[in-house]
Amino acid sequence: MTDTTTFPEVGTRVRGARVLLSDVVLDAHGPADPTGHARAESLTAHLDRVGPRPTGTPALVEVLDRAGLSGHGGAHVPAASKWRRVLAGDGHLTVVANGAESEPVAAKDGTLLRQRPHLVIDGLLLTAEALGARRAVIWLHGDDRGARKALRAALAERPWSPSAPAVEIVDGPVHYLAGEASAITQAVAGGPALPTVRRRPEPGAPRTLVHNVETLARLALLARGYPPSGTRLLTVLGDGRAVVEVDAATTFTELLVDLGWAEAPQAVLLGGYGGLWAPWTRLAGLPVDEGVLRGEGLSLGAGVVAPLGAWACGVKQTAGLVAYLASMSARQCGPCVFGLPALAESTLALADGRRGAGVDRLLDDAAAVEGRGACHHPDGATRLIASATSTFADDIAAHAAGRPCRGTAEVWPGVSR
């Protein structure tokens, strides 16, 4: 490892240095193709910036542990814990770099792959070497042509040692659940890309370790001796999407002001469509720091920040989100096949101010679904609804009393007015 104690100087933005990517503006939906030009970093520029990659060894798990590196795909599981579980097994191991962002507005991973593909590949190879994997896979949504092009060009640039694991690019289906870890595990083993109940593996059974691509990029820097950066990659929804890297001490107010917001939103959806609503009055002074947010019962999840304008109706927005989640179900169990559509209908009835619709019925329907699915997809809808009932309590009471507001839903991908 190098003796470097500071990150390279690569520019600054609000309260922090950018170490992973340059900020970009994207269309409101679709793959992470920037509206302006953003060239992928070449291998030569990558090596000039961060230096050569060390060899991965099992001792790297201690580096991850000391750095406190957690996953950046949504669940924020400590990386060292995942490595230790893998090291305790003995079956054939596949390591996967997960670049399939399932949240419709998320784009930080696609942006990272387009700008710094070599950093992600380094992290994948370090992990494969350290854990003795026989197979290394980069998993993408099938429509992400920009990421695939950048990765193929990067792989073609690199000299390969016969002892190094080959890196495969695998295209998954374009579906909300295709980026879920257990779905990827099934798919790379030849099965359907659908989530499953996670069971303790049998001795000698094949093993799969899935890491988000941002996690692997950060791992590649830690392995070189760089300290933890203290930054967050975020996709922020507005007129379009902005992908930014900010210091974790940056407050939500500073974040939105820096992105040109002139008026405060009424609430913010954190983490994506299966995430949590938070009222702006609660969120404005908080930093984009996962530890602080979890102490408040909140989470950035997959790094999505979606402000809801003051003119919009949070009840109708939630109804559209729940309908989207119901349409994206795996259809493998009763809670997905019957529970999610029932939840979507109850939320829509409340949004429309229909007679008999109310928060009690909605919460009863959510309780019937919570924790009962074959996977965790239904829990995203129940979590969203629970946060909506507190964030939009006054509006929900008015809708339940037959006085729906005149506000509409914001036009987000998959969310109807």
The DSSP symbol for 177 reads G
Structural domains in the chain plus CATH codes:
28-223 (3.40.50.11540), 231-308 (3.10.20.600), 314-400 (1.20.1440.230)
pLDDT in tens, 223-241: 999 999 999 999 999 888 9
Whole-prediction pTM: 0.91
Mean pLDDT, to the nearest integer, of 241-256?
Answer: 95
Its sign, for the CA torsion 74, 94, 187, 20, is positive
* Spatial contact of 408 and 310, defined as CB atoms under 8 Å apart: no
Mean pLDDT, to the nearest integer, of 39-60?
Answer: 95
CA distance 61 to 223: 10
**pLDDT grade for 357, boundaries at 50, 70 and 90:** confident
pLDDT at 3 (0 to 100): 31
Higher pLDDT, 215 or 345: 215
CA distance 171 to 401: 48
**pLDDT grade for 80, boundaries at 50, 70 and 90:** very high
**pLDDT grade for 335, boundaries at 50, 70 and 90:** low
pLDDT in tens, 254-275: 999 999 998 999 999 999 999 9
pLDDT at 17 (0 to 100): 66
Please state, rounded to an integer, the average pLDDT across all residues of the chain.
88
